[in-house]
Amino acid sequence: MPALTKTDKSDNSDVISKSIAFFNRYCILILALVMLAVSVIHILPPFNADIINYDSSYQYFLTKHSLSDIMKLLPEDYSPPLYTLLLKLWTYIFGSSLLAMRSFSILIIWGLIFLAAFPVRAAFGKRASVICMLLYTLSYVNFLLVPEIRPTVLAYFLTAACAIYMYLALFKGYHYAYICMTVFAILGMYTHNVSMLAALSFYIVSFAFTIISKQKKKTLYFFLSGVVCALSYCPWLIVVMKQFSNVKKNYWANSIISSSLVIDWTYDIHFGYASGLVTYLIFIFIAIMLLIHVVKMRNCKTLNDIRKKLAPHRAEFVSVLYCGLMYVAPIITLILFTRLVYPIIATRYFYILSSLMVILLSVVISKLFDTKLFLACIVLFIVSFCINFGNVKSQLDSSDFSDMIETIKENGDDDIAFLHLHEWSLGIMMYYFPDAEHYVCDDTWCVLNTLDVFPTEVTDIGSIDNINKYSKKLFIFGDLFPDSPYELDDHFNSKDDYDVTYLGTFTEPYTYKNTWRLYHVTNKTQSTNTK
């Protein structure tokens, strides 16, 4: 075999060098494409599951209306209109099936990956971009966002995008960033109330930074951007006031929000409860690194000495401080608004802000950790994902919710009728049984002011005892929630006219894990009357 000449060795070296250079140049793009592929595998189980929660059923039926009807029904909802209108446009192209609507959520998650790949890289560097992509791709939140057809998924993206472009405008001085942050802020305000309040807190934090740093030009730019956002939101204010009045009447959100609930819905829900212990190791790493930096300061005797020691790391410190405030400020704003104005924010909406926690964590890891710890974090995140994926897959596989649907079909004969004691069962059963008879009564727990969003007419029977005037056989869910107004066994069994058959207890999978106790009630003496 002939020996390699200097020319051959040089050629091989050039190829390797060019390959390395190519990878270094396009590694983020390559990783982004890999993350897209991983995300598809990641979210396939909940995407394909024929299981729908109440919020998604409401959005599903709302989107099936015409645009004119949607605009009439939107004020009766508690969300701004953008997501519904975009989803309606999406259905014109891809159809209005459940899977078609869920695919819109996948597109938004892909948007998050590219957000991490490019704007985050421009703001915080390549290492932060890698961590951010990984967290957005492997997040437990995706298991919630994909099967849900609600504005939260779009708010999750827009809130993060607004925060990142504000950083680029404030610290990098990119002129296009001012336009982007304004656009994303407006879109977020028209998507979700959480995004609206988050945008407000972002402007307060950024405005304060420009004043403290005495950057008069940037102060003016942020002020003008805020004015544009406020003016753009004015047309929706009338509708918001009406929605707030509805909230005051019968909304279910609790004004008491504890710090533990905030942590629960911003950290635990992102990484997954089962893998929490795994990801807690990362915070141990962070604590150790901070301790090391403190120890290094032991020889500093004066404040001036500390300043000199920290001077080379000033940019990193400011980045972490700003990202920390952009994460904490919306939480404080939401809590204050809920307690002092209207309780419109349910605690579960806080997971929208977990997108900001991802940015903060990515910046901290990229700035604080050396290469070994950086790689260790990546391994821990992957392990966390594997645990979450396995748990979600097992929950879906073991779910008996589909068994409940089959039980209803087997016991319902040709005519299926429901008496709903809760709005949740009304929306969900309307999805599975749109042609059935659906009844509500005086004590049905209901937030909506109108039930016109549903495709089948819902009959209000008044007192529950009037049900015998409408149906001979019907299904009732006894304790969908602990505060159900009736003990159905006692209520119907106390009357000789009824036979009550308990058909079993069924549980929703990983979404909310509500318990459904299914009863089949038969009126023995009276025949079914028509409406």
pLDDT value of residue 239: 83
Assess if residue 18 is contained within a domain: no
Residues 442 and 338 placed together within one structural domain of the fold: no
DSSP 8-state code for residue 341: T
User: For the segment 271-324, what is each residue's pLDDT rounded down to a tens digit?
Assistant: 765 556 667 777 777 777 777 766 666 666 666 666 666 656 677 888 888 999
Residues 390 and 447 placed together within one structural domain of the fold: no
Choosing from 370, 398, 426, the residue where a domain stops is 398
Q: How many domains does the chain have?
A: 2
**C-alpha distances out from residue 140 to 47, 267, 514, Å:** 14, 10, 19
Assess if residue 13 is contained within a domain: no
Assess if residue 243 is contained within a domain: yes
The residue with tokens 């951007």 is 225
Residues 229 and 315 placed together within one structural domain of the fold: yes
**C-alpha distances out from residue 220 to 169, 231, 323, Å:** 12, 16, 22
Question: H or E segment at 129?
Answer: helix 126-138
The span from the CA of 200 to the CA of 190, in Å, is 13
Q: What is the total residue count of the chain?
A: 531
Q: Of 225, 159, 147, 221, nearest to 190 (Cα)?
A: 159
Assess if residue 5 is contained within a domain: no
* Counts of helices then strands in the chain (DSSP H, E): 22, 6
Assess if residue 528 is contained within a domain: no
Residues 212 and 339 placed together within one structural domain of the fold: yes
Question: H or E segment at 46?
Answer: helix 6-48
**C-alpha distances out from residue 343 to 137, 248, 335, Å:** 32, 8, 9
Choosing from 369, 398, 427, the residue where a domain stops is 398
Residues 370 and 415 placed together within one structural domain of the fold: no
Residues 414 and 357 placed together within one structural domain of the fold: no
CB contact at 8 A, 524 and 498: yes
pTM of the model: 0.86
Q: Give the phi and the psi of residue 505 in degrees, each rounded to 5.
A: -110, 130
Alpha helix positions (H), 297-411: 303-310, 314-340, 354-368, 371-398, 401-411
**Residue 493 in this model has a pLDDT that exceeds 50:** yes
pLDDT value of residue 323: 93
User: For the segment 152-206, what is each residue's pLDDT rounded down to a tens digit?
Assistant: 889 999 999 999 999 999 999 899 999 999 999 999 999 998 899 999 999 999 9
Residues 393 and 411 placed together within one structural domain of the fold: no
pLDDT value of residue 531: 41
Q: Which two tokens stand for residue 331?
A: 């939480």
Assess if residue 238 is contained within a domain: yes
The span from the CA of 250 to the CA of 234, in Å, is 25
The span from the CA of 361 to the CA of 135, in Å, is 9
Residues 415 and 309 placed together within one structural domain of the fold: no
Mean pLDDT of 428-453: 86
The span from the CA of 425 to the CA of 235, in Å, is 34
Residues 371 and 457 placed together within one structural domain of the fold: no
Residues 372 and 424 placed together within one structural domain of the fold: no
Q: Give 221 or 494, the one with higher predicted confidence.
A: 221
Q: Give 446 or 461, the one with higher predicted confidence.
A: 461
CATH number at residue 512: 3.40.190
Domain span at residue 420 reads 401-523
Residues 422 and 382 placed together within one structural domain of the fold: no
Assess if residue 139 is contained within a domain: yes
User: For the segment 130-153, what is each residue's pLDDT rounded down to a tens digit?
Assistant: 999 988 888 877 777 777 888 988
Which value, in Å, is the radius of gyration of the alpha carbons in the chain? Answer: 27
Assess if residue 384 is contained within a domain: yes
Residues 316 and 454 placed together within one structural domain of the fold: no
User: For the segment 461-490, what is each residue's pLDDT rounded down to a tens digit?
Assistant: 888 878 878 878 889 887 665 555 556 656
Choosing from 398, 420, 438, the residue where a domain stops is 398
